[in-house]
Amino acid sequence: MAEEVVLLDFWPSPFGMRSRIALAEKGIKYEHKEEDLRNKSALLLQMNPVHKKIPVLIHNGKPVCESLIQVQYIDEIYELGGRVWKTKGEEQATAKKELIETLKLLEKELGDKPYFGGESLGYVDVAFIPFYSWFYALEKCGNFSIEAECPKLIAWAKRCMQKESVAKSLPDQQKVYDFILEMKKHFGNE
C-alpha cells in the first residue's frame, strides 16, 4: 500500500514551515501544493471546509488541519517505535538503537526523581506514560529489553501504573501486541 502525503501550503506561512520541517526531519516524501490564498483551490475547501486555511496535511486522503497537530501527527505516525515493528534486519537494528538512545535521554531527565516533575505525577508523565503500553510489543517485535537498557524508566512506568487513573486508562500490553501483529499481517510485514 503506497502512502500518499500531500501538503497544501503557502510558501511564506510560518505554520506551513512547521509541517515542512517535520516532514523533512522524518524523511517523508510528499507532494507540495502551493495555494493561492486569494483564490483557494477546491481541494483546500474540501479538506478544510470550516476554516478554509492552510496548511492542510493530507495523508491517504484524510486531512489533518492546524500545524501543531500536523507536527504531532507526523511524529506519531513515523516515530521510532513504528520502525521497530515495521522493519527487519539492519533497518530494525538502527531503529532499536535510536529508540533506546531516545529513552535513555528521557531516563537521564528523570534522574532519581519518582516522576518527571518531582514528587507527583505531572504533565510530562501524563504525556509520556501512554507509550509504556506499547513497550511490550516493541520488545517482542524487536527482540530486545527496554528494562535492561533503561531500568529507571521502567521503574517510573511501574510507579505510574500504580495510580488508578493511569492503570484504568492504559490498554493491556498483550492487547497492544496482538494489535501490532494484526497490523503487521495487514501491511505484509510478518
Q: How does pLDDT run across 50-94, given as a tens digit for each residue? A: 999 999 999 989 999 999 888 887 876 668 788 898 889 999 999
Q: How does pLDDT run across 119-166, given as a tens digit for each residue? A: 999 988 998 898 899 999 999 999 999 999 999 999 999 999 999 999
150 Cβ neighbours under 8 A, 6+ residues apart: 100, 103, 104, 106, 107
Cell numbers that stand for 85 in this block = 515493528
0.75 exceeded by pTM: no
| In the block, residue with C-alpha cell 505516525 | 77
Instruction: Estimate the crossing angle of helix 173-187 against helix 132-142, to 10 degrees.
Output: 50
